[in-house]
Structure 1
């Protein structure tokens, strides 16, 4: 998931929110974007993946 998430961040022209990344991730994996429970779960997973990449200097918060 981190690889896909980082690919989404690389393609972004400007700063994006975790929700934006989550929606792109759901779309790229052909998952149901209207499922609210799935959105919440994936947003938490994206947040955790971003937190793991922050100490390495790969991502940063703005």
Structure 2
């Protein structure tokens, strides 16, 4: 069954905004949700850092 709910297709910032609306002034919950939403990007960056640095160095943009 396909659900045509807008919230099921929302981006992370929109999901965080909706979460903030549900939680009101619970900043600790909103900040925890923000950190959790950043984790996949940070993990990918750490795992692929070697390739990212190699690409910057080989492109000629290394510190100029």
Q: Smaller-chain TM-score range?
A: 0.3 to 0.5
Structure-2-length-normalised TM-score: 0.36
Greater RCO (CA < 8 Å, at least 6 residues apart): 1
Please identify which structure carries the higher helix content: 2
Q: Provide TM-score, normalisation by structure 1.
A: 0.37
